[in-house]
A and B are shown apart, each in its own frame.
Chain A
């Protein structure tokens, strides 16, 4: 399980660095928020996996929809003049830490 995640992450990083794609400056901010959402989804997935409550549909849809929603909200915020991306950063940040804490507890219990 862990091996799969790390291995796939590394492969993804390698592909990404080889790809000749560079984001325009203005989209970098939205991309960073989408990444936060994605990280949150991955940790949520791991947590669900450990709790035996893992649902593939929820996981994949959450990953895609959360990333798009976060980026979209940040974009709308920019258009409105409200720094909505801060809300996304806080929410996802908090959730990432919560998920990490739960994963840690499971690991501690397990070993």
Chain B
């Protein structure tokens, strides 16, 4: 091979390598920099933006819910974050964070002699997207099978509450706006798009089906 040609080729390869290394780094930095701005934000994932009630002081009503929980739950839940959100004739509906602080849990407690309690948790990022729900079914439930939904702060659940004013009208408490209870007398649509206060991204509600007894 012509040594001069080989030298020229080698120089070209060297220059191409330099260009690949030197050019890629600023481009990568640029792409990493613009990436967050291409996303449509929904909400920060801090407690006060998702479930502000857990940052408020614990009331006597909150402590009553905590006292009635099975001791096994104390291993999972951060007991200082248990807050009663709403209640109706059938049950109490509370929220808590897990000990890691990464998950939001809904606690649904049936008002009967057995005090059946169900909990379900979702990671904060999942909770911000879809909320969290818990379904209870069994012959001991006075209201029949029920599903309780907890929505993050900022989701306007009014369209769902409007589906059955009689049942939802009985739901009282400081967090009642974020809780929906689905029972046989309060059916909900299979799907619904709900508005969010500080985001153009809608909340996609999907009904949880529980088997009829």
Tell me if chain B binds chain A. Answer: no
Binding site for B on A (CB under 8 A): none
